Amino acid sequence: MPGMWNPGACMSCYLCVAYRWLSSVNELLLPPHQIRQSAAVMLRMRVKKHWKKISPDHRERLAALCCPIPRNQSFSSPLYWTVGLLLLSKVVESNPEPFKPHYRQLLQLFGTVLQDLDNPTAMYYCILTLTAMTAYTGTEEMNLMRSLIPTLIIALRHLIKADQDQASEAMEVFDELMESEVSIMVPHIAEIVHFCLEVRKRNTTLTDSLRVKALSCIAFLIRLKSKTVLKQKLLNPILQTVFPVLSAAPPPGEEDPEDEENSNEDDTDNESPKHFAAQVIDTMALHMPPEKLFHQLMPLTQACLASDNPYKRKAGLMCLAVLAEGCADHIRTKMLSSMLQTVCQSLSDSNQVVRSAGLFALGQFSEHLQPEVSKYCAELMPLLLAYMSALNQAKIGHVTKAFYALENFLENLGSEIEPYLPTLMETMLSALSNAENLKLKELAVSAIGAIANAAKEKLVPYFLPVIESLKGFLTDTRDEMRSLQTQALDTLSVLARTIGKEVFSPLAAECVQLGLNLTNAIDDPDLRRCTYSLFSAVSTVSPDCLNPHLTAITTIMLLSLKSTEGVTVSQWASWLQTLPILTTQDLAVYSISTQFSVENAYIDEKEDTCDALGEISVCGCGLAFVYLTMHSVSPSPQFPHEDVRRAAFVAMGQFCRAQHKVWQENPTEADHQALQKLLGVVLPSFLEAVHSERERQVVMGVLEAMNAVLKACQGEALQSPGRLQDISQAIRDVLKKRTVCQDGGGDEADEDEQQAEYDAMLQEFAGEGIPLLASAVPAETFQPYLNELLPLIMNKLSYTVADRSFSVGTLGEILQSLVNVSGGRACAGKLSNQLLPVLVAGVRDCDSEVRNNSVFALGALAQAAGPLVAQDYPMMLSLFSNLLSKEQDRRVIDNLCAALCRMIMSNMEGVPLEQVLSTHVHSWDVILGLCLPETQNTLVMLLRDVAQRHSQEFEGAMKSLPAEQKMKLTGAVSQS
């Protein structure tokens, strides 16, 4: 027997031996089960490594052997079922596709095996096989797969009783089904959810792994089918099950991982049921309408916050924290003050567990609820500075959360940071000089980056001591210093972008050389991605410093994208390594595939590489860099991680903008053809992603990138026949909620089918493309598409404040785009009857943002249509006069003045100047103090023009002014 395992034996010999062992079911003397299992293991090992070397005949024999083995009637013992299913699971896992002709037969077999509740091991291998083949199942097998779900749930219940580890692994079948074809599960969502809730509830008897799988499955279902979860009234049962997990106290003598001594985000294994319970609520916030979610969620949250139990108070704060992103607009407009008050009170709680949760919630609020949170600077900064004053006394995990809250708050503080700058920098520099804990130094270095983002040039007095501290960290290559070194690179990049070119430029060449030296000396994905970000930052300050090193920089960055290090690849691995260089078209197909799993560090590296490639291409290194990155055109495998896909799409858009800049600076036919060739690859890939991409954030990135290309390239982006129609169709599909990431859309008239706020953001990105198209082609060319898109924009006027603001703002941008295109005046005139009532209503809206956008849109209409709307001037002037008498919002007043200027400058004959001047001139000196600088200049220019061209009316109006006002206006008009 040992001789049969000779490594030099041919593949056929191994297969023959395996066939002989596994097909001997009719012999009187069957081989022992150990031999049969050895055969299955041996065959699995050989097949997995050498499938391509197996002849087609052997592959067919193997498939034929595997399929009937478990159902062969001569199997008198469950052992034979088990061994056959073991072999089947391993071979199908190795290469599922060749078994496709047998899928219907296999699914019928699984229906039988899953009902044999007395043989859990056979059920286990059966479910593993089903998991492996799910991604390859076609429409013909769909009904069979769907019918298996109830039987599968029953089988999993019994498998949990028999072997929890096997059951945990088997539950991954749900993930695979949801990833591959969620429609299979839709009729059974209620059953699946109740099964997962049942698993979660058995706290005392089930492993954490099983309960995590159950919670993860619920979160996945909510993400993909939130409307179905709501329709089937599953929200309340889920919340009633999730909250006890979220608020559970740890076992006596233990702490939750995030609260343990010396814990930090880098070394905590946060795969606990409590973590996934919070993730379920986070997913609800991202994918459910806030009104429906908050109605059932807030009573549970408030009960936790009022509890004497610190872990329940912590749960309430964690719940508030994870709502901040997905329900941002709802919280900002309706609940921010009360929620922020609750969080601030928690920062003085007697229990550090609660204080830590409060800091985390404050960090989440600061990250996702801007700019409104920054208005509470006077209340929040003293609380945060108090934490900073005792850095060495607290647990490092607690300090980490304090820095998280501080950084997120500072990032958006802007010039209001100035009063706190001396205290902040004294604290940070002291930590860099005196702290012994490397993690504390790392946090301080990161905080300096956040401070720099807010303070910008105001940080110049502290620049030299900061750079001296960073240099020590940047050049220390010891392993224990790696995390601090990486953070120092990040902060150096921030300083390059914020401190000012004059201050940083002398360091630019040294930074480029530092980055090259580090990437050559240290093999670390985090360090590489931070180095690429540094190159990108330097390109914004001193692109000439990169030019001598472009070949070296490009080579290492493209190798990072091409590299399979840290990537588990199945059939794509050998093909990937044959790619000569990653190209623009390679990026174009970095989309969804289940063929890969990637470690987080390598995901971050590839994402930041894409970001850096794109930015460097548009920051002065355009010509040389674009040609280096557009080397050739060959397809590449699609990448699974949404952040990398988003970054790849953004980089592609930046390549287009860079090539357009190259062509503008050197308008040769070759450069023009290169631009059109690039647009011909990139824009179709954008449109495909809009329709087929599942992740909202990726689609938002695609739409944003496409808008940037349209803005930069304008008509050049629309040269290809059908391109204007295709882009208009994509925008229309997003506005009508018909894309994959919008869950297949739905009936817009159905109030119960509201999309979560991410869908609203998605539609805003789509809407921003309409005025860009309007400005890129003659109005008569775009008019048919505009007629289809306008109703979709105007339909949102009856929805939320955010929808109304978006709608009138988009209308204003469209009208402004018509000002400078051929036929724009006639188009605006045709639209005026339709748009005027909408915009007039918007000027009277209770929300200042809606009023602001409506006033802007009326001014844009007057400018675009000119004399064609002269008959409406009296009504518009009366409307503006009434608004001016009571408006307090500076932005609205600013746009009101700008709109009045547009009316006069577009059609001065249509404005009764004497009446307007006598009505408004009394207020104009006040207005000049309220308006933004740009509008102040426009207003002064208008006054000068009126004084010169209509001196009599102007003087008449001036006579009625008090002496002080008259002097101010005379001085403004007479200044050169």
Please report where in the chains the tokens 């191994």 appear, as a residue. Answer: 14
| Residues 360, 354: Cα–Cα separation, whole Å | 10
- Give the tokens for residue 531: 């180095």
pLDDT in tens, 656-701: 998 898 899 889 998 899 899 989 989 999 999 999 888 888 999 9
Q: Looking at residue 597, what DSSP letter applies?
A: E
Which residues touch 533 (CB under 8 Å, ≥6 apart)?
489, 490, 493, 608, 611, 612
Type of residue found at 229? V
Distance of CA 485 to the CA centre of its chain: 27
In the prediction, which pLDDT does 929 show?
52
Dmax over CA atoms of the chain, in Å, equals 122
CB–CB of 162/120 below 8 Å?
yes
CB–CB of 19/66 below 8 Å?
no
Taking alpha carbons only, the member of 717, 580, 702 closest to residue 659 is 717
Q: Looking at residue 695, what DSSP letter applies?
A: -
Beta bridge partner(s), residue 568: 597
* Cα 911-916-922 angle, rounded to 5 deg: 160
| Residues 296, 234: Cα–Cα separation, whole Å | 11
Element (H, E) at 45: helix 33-50
- Rounded to 5 degrees, φ, ψ at 720 are -65, 135
CB–CB of 365/325 below 8 Å?
no
Give the residue ranges of DSSP H helices in 666-800: 669-692, 696-713, 723-735, 757-767, 769-774, 779-794
CB–CB of 336/373 below 8 Å?
yes
Type of residue found at 237? P
| Residues 178, 594: Cα–Cα separation, whole Å | 12
* Cα 726-727-731 angle, rounded to 5 deg: 120
CB–CB of 273/212 below 8 Å?
yes
| Residues 915, 957: Cα–Cα separation, whole Å | 9
Type of residue found at 471? K
Distance of CA 334 to the CA centre of its chain: 24
- Rounded to 5 degrees, φ, ψ at 477 are -95, 10
In the prediction, which pLDDT does 886 show?
82
In the prediction, which pLDDT does 917 show?
56
| Residues 313, 346: Cα–Cα separation, whole Å | 9
pLDDT in tens, 154-173: 989 998 888 888 888 888 88
- Average pLDDT in the chain: 79
SS3 assignment, position 568: strand
pLDDT in tens, 460-475: 999 999 999 998 899 8
CB–CB of 347/339 below 8 Å?
no
| Residues 744, 600: Cα–Cα separation, whole Å | 30
CB–CB of 698/706 below 8 Å?
no
**CA-derived radius of gyration, the chain:** 33
Q: What percent of the chain has pLDDT over 90?
A: 31
CB–CB of 756/721 below 8 Å?
no
Low-confidence ranges of the chain (pLDDT < 70): 1-81, 202-204, 261-270, 390-394, 566-599, 620-640, 743-757, 908-939, 942-943, 946, 949-950, 953-954, 956-962, 964-965, 968-969, 972-976
In the prediction, which pLDDT does 938 show?
65
pTM: 0.68
